Amino acid sequence: MSNTNSNACDEYLETWFAAQDAPATSPQAHDESAEAAAAHVEECAHCAQAAANIDKQALLLSAHFAELAVPSPPPLQPRAPLQAASGYPRRVSLNVLPFMLLLWLIGLLGVVALAWWVVSKFIE
């Protein structure tokens, strides 16, 4: 399809879409350009396919959004860094696990060393 035809098709499609989306009582749904666009979309295979795609997308979008769970709004108050909007502690990524284990190990070794030092002093 040439660019000129493609542009004309785009305009027809846009007019058709606007009329589709307009309430049946609005003048936009009944003016001459809307009727011409509807006739074109029906006749032109390219536009008919595009119109079918738009209709299908609308159905897909409605289904997609219907499946989306929307939680209720949390209270609006600033959160602590490790608190999620739900109020519960934020989930921590597994990537930080080795670092946390290292810190834990260093802490443990520190406590053991301190205890050893205190006990050795006591024995002396």
Partner 1 sequence: MELDAALVEKARSGDREAFDEIVQQLWGPVFVFVRGRINDEEKARDLAQDTFLRALDKLDTLRSGQSLMSWIFTIASHRVIDCYRRQGTQPKMRGYDTEIDGDGLTGRAPTGRDFTEAAPTLGVEQAEDAERLQAAMQQLHDRYRAVLILRYWSGMSPAQIARLLGEPEGTIRNRIFRAHRQLQGLLED
Those residues whose C-beta lies under 8 Å from the C-beta of residue 1, and which sit 6 or more positions away, are 9, 46
* Binding of residue 57 to partner 1 (CB under 8 A): yes
Q: Of 65-104, which residues contact partner 1 (CB under 8 A)?
A: 65, 67-74, 76, 78-79, 84-86, 90-91
Residues 14-53 that bind partner 1 (CB under 8 A): 14, 17-18, 21-23, 46, 49-50, 52-53
Q: Which residue has the tokens 């035809």?
A: 5
Establish how many alpha carbons lie within 13 A of residue 111's alpha carbon, considering only the half-sphere containing its beta carbon.
6
Supply angle C-alpha 18, 24, 26, rounded to 5. Answer: 70
Residues forming contacts to partner 1 in the complex (CB under 8 A) are: 1, 6, 13-14, 17-18, 21-23, 46, 49-50, 52-54, 56-58, 60-65, 67-74, 76, 78-79, 84-86, 90-91
